[in-house]
């Protein structure tokens, strides 16, 4: 080997295809860091083949769709930047209200990701695989040319479909909660202002909030004291610190003032469909994306809160007044008319302690009166929150929170506009039945019978647990298509011991491979705490599971489903009003989505028609 082809020279002499294969062992951030080592490596790290490889490693899209999406961005590097930021959102998200289902599936759209709500529904005449599943749009995040994001919330008001522009805050890859919030913002910088742009190596870095605060503190060491105080004050302006009534009011005001009529809402899909003229559909998708990006660019995603009469823009809160009076009182005691200190430091400290303990600074034993209640003091003042920015706007903020769960169902906060991510178990050798299943009651599976033309569609997540040396399989209900909820969200429809074979026989003349003994849900202890009765889970050929209650001989049949494929074949229906469309915070045990849908055959039963009529009268 010649000396000229040793070390770095040998590395640089590799063809692009070989270098792309080597880059599979690197992360996007590693490739960015490699590009700043030297000019020669920068050329390799900017290769389109290298960044196409990075996009493939993320495993969000097949290669054919990656090539198609590339037409909408400036480079594969920009596309990778977008995919990295939205990958943690892909999956199943839920909220506990309403009980009939608030299941949102986030999937790739068209140079975007979209959140689709699965509508509780009855099974169509063609069964689970071929029937048109009903869904409504919740939100979408579209990639711009440079890989940056534009967020749109969907909603329907007064018979019109609207979009509500906002911003998306990328998070770390372990986010488990999506928060819909209002954020204060400074005036948008000009296009030629590059002072706030991320370094190319940082644009792919998902830094937790804790680390971000440390980096900001260090980088701000050269700022003046006044600017550091402003930065510190702005960091305290957290939407979650507001009272619930203020948070709801802010979201209502912003959505009402920032909404835009959705153009061509009936003819423009959010993602490529599995039916129709592909060339025509792609043309519609390109035009729709360009139009939405233009709306976001021209209309902006923030409003001037000082010009909204419903917001406290021209007055100071009573809490601020009380604080100001208290400070003035201290000033009059500590300083004279000429501003000369009259009291010692010890006297000032004693006066401050007395005020904290609720006593007057003059030494009396009367408790100081305040204009705010104890509950108000726990929350941030609305005016202070608004004053931390020039404008306010919608923001979708994924975060990582620690919360408890019961039988694979998260315990959710009642007053957060939030969606919670469900961990989707991946099948493996010792957990072959894990994952998402669609189910109906009755036999044969997935097909309506003559006496019951409509069957409720259930979605169940099957997971595994091991305790005291016993392995159990649990099916958690996440969606129910009945007219009035029979089982709470997060109910364990059945739990079986996979180490305990069952000797029961299947009620029909069908061969099965395995049977496990367990218990299935039953009424007996009320709606929230249902009872259970013995039964068996049968593993039938052709990928079908069936749980049979021993006493009643009722059977719940299940088969695996691919939500993305079902949604691409499905039928879009109108959304709920914007706030309820994201997280329906009002408890409901009936199907609140019926009155807003043009369902067709899947909701054609008399009970659905009656419920729809009642909801439309409200």
Residue 136 pLDDT exceeds 90: yes
Q: Which residues pair with 520 in a beta bridge?
A: 494, 533
CB contact set of 431 (below 8 Å; sequence gap of 6+): 425, 464
| Cα–Cα nearest to 80, from 140, 121, 30 | 30
- Minimum mean pLDDT among 17-31, 277-291, 335-349, 513-527: which range? 335-349
Please tell me the predicted confidence (pLDDT) of residue 154. Answer: 95
Average pLDDT over residues 525-541: 84
DSSP assignment of 392-417: EEEEEEEE-----EETTEE---TT--
Query: Quick check: pTM over 0.85?
Result: no
pLDDT at 267: 63
pLDDT band at 325 (very low <50, low <70, confident <90, very high): very low
Range 292-295, long-range pairs (CB < 8 A, 24+ positions) = 292/142, 292/150, 292/152, 292/163, 293/142, 293/144, 293/150, 295/163, 295/165, 295/260
In the numeric block, the tokens 């259970």 are attached to 532
Answer yes or no: is pLDDT of 218 > 60.
no
Least confident of 81-85, 240-244, 405-409: 405-409
Q: Please provide the DSSP assignment of 119-177 as one string.
A: PP-EE-TTHHHHS--EEEEEEEEEE-TTS-EEEEEEEEETTEEEEEEEEE----TT--E
Question: Which tens digits make up the pLDDT trace of 11-69?
Answer: 666 777 777 787 787 888 888 887 777 777 777 778 888 899 999 999 999 999 999 99
Of 603 and 28, the one with more pLDDT: 28
Distance of alpha carbon 614 from alpha carbon 126, whole angstroms: 29
> What is d(CA 160, CA 575) in angstroms, rounded to the nearest whole number?
10
Tell me the average pLDDT of the chain: 77
* Whole-number pLDDT of residue 314: 56
Paired tokens of 583 = 């997280």
Bridge partners of residue 182, in order along the sequence: 394
Residue 159 CA to residue 269 CA, distance in Å, equals 19
pLDDT number for residue 342? 43
pLDDT at 430 over 90: no
pLDDT of residue 437: 94
pLDDT at residue 577, rounded to an integer: 93
Collapsed DSSP state (helix, strand, coil) of residue 199: coil
Tokens of 367: 């408790």
- According to the per-residue pLDDT averaged within each range, which of 17-31, 251-265, 449-463 is highest? 251-265
pLDDT at 304: 87
Confidence grade of residue 377 (pLDDT, cut at 50, 70, 90):
low
What is the pLDDT at residue 319?
A: 43
């Amino acid at each position: 080997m010649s000396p000229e082809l040793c070390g770095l020279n040998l590395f640089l002499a590799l063809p692009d295809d070989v270098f792309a294969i080597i880059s599979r062992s690197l992360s996007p951030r590693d490739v960015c860091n490699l590009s700043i080592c030297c000019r020669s490596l920068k050329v390799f790290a900017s290769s389109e083949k290298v960044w196409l490889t990075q996009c493939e490693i993320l495993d969000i899209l097949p290669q054919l769709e990656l090539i198609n999406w590339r037409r909408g961005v400036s480079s594969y590097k920009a596309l990778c930047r977008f995919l990295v930021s939205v990958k943690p959102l892909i999956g199943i998200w839920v909220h506990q209200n309403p009980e009939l289902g608030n299941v949102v599936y986030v999937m790739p759209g068209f140079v975007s990701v979209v959140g689709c709500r699965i509508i509780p529904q009855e099974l169509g005449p063609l069964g689970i695989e071929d029937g048109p599943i009903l869904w409504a749009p919740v939100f979408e995040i579209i990639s711009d040319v440079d890989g940056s994001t534009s967020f749109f919330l969907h909603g329907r008001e007064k018979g019109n479909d609207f979009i509500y522009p906002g911003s998306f805050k990328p998070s770390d890859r372990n986010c488990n909660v999506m928060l819909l919030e209002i954020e204060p913002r400074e005036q948008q910088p000009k296009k030629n202002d590059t002072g706030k742009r991320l370094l190319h190596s940082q644009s792919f870095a998902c830094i937790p909030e804790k680390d971000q605060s440390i980096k900001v503190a260090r980088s701000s060491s050269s700022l003046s004291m006044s600017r550091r105080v402003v930065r510190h004050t702005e960091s305290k302006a957290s939407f979650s610190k507001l009272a619930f009534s203020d948070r709801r009011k802010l979201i209502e005001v912003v959505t009402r003032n920032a909404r835009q009529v959705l153009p061509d809402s009936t003819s423009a899909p959010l993602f490529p469909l599995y039916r129709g003229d592909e060339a025509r559909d792609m043309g519609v998708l390109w035009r729709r994306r360009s139009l939405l990006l233009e709306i976001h660019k021209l209309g902006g995603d923030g409003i001037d809160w000082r010009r909204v009469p419903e917001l406290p823009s021209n007055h100071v809160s009573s809490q601020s007044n009380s604080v100001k009076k208290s400070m003035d009182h201290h000033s009059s005691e500590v300083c004279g008319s000429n501003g000369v200190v009259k009291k010692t430091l010890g006297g000032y400290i004693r006066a401050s302690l007395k005020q904290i303990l609720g006593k007057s600074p003059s030494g009396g034993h009367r408790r100081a009166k305040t204009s705010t209640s104890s509950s108000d003091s726990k929350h941030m003042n609305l005016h202070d929150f608004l004053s931390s920015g020039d404008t306010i706007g919608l923001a979708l903020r994924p975060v990582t929170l620690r919360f408890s769960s019961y039988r694979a169902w998260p315990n959710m906060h009642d007053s957060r506009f939030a969606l919670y991510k469900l961990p989707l178990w991946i099948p493996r050798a010792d957990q072959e039945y894990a994952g998402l299943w669609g189910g109906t009651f009755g036999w044969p599976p997935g097909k309506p019978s003559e006496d019951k033309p409509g069957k409720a569609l259930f979605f169940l997540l099957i997971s595994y647990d091991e305790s005291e040396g016993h392995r159990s399989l649990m099916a958690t209900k996440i969606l129910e298509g009945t007219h009035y909820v029979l089982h709470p969200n997060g109910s364990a429809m059945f739990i079986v011991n996979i180490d305990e074979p069952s000797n029961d026989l299947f009620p029909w003349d069908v061969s099965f491979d395995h049977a496990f003994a367990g218990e299935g849900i039953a009424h007996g202890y009320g709606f929230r705490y249902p009872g259970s009765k013995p039964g068996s889970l049968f593993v039938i050929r052709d990928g079908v599971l069936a749980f049979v209650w021993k006493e009643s001989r009722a059977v719940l049949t299940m088969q695996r489903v691919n939500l993305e494929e079902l949604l691409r074949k499905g039928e879009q229906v109108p959304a709920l009003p914007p706030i309820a469309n994201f997280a329906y915070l009002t408890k409901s045990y009936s199907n609140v989505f019926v009155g807003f849908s043009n369902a067709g055959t899947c909701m054609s039963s008399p009970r659905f028609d009656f419920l729809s009529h009642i909801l439309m009268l409200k």
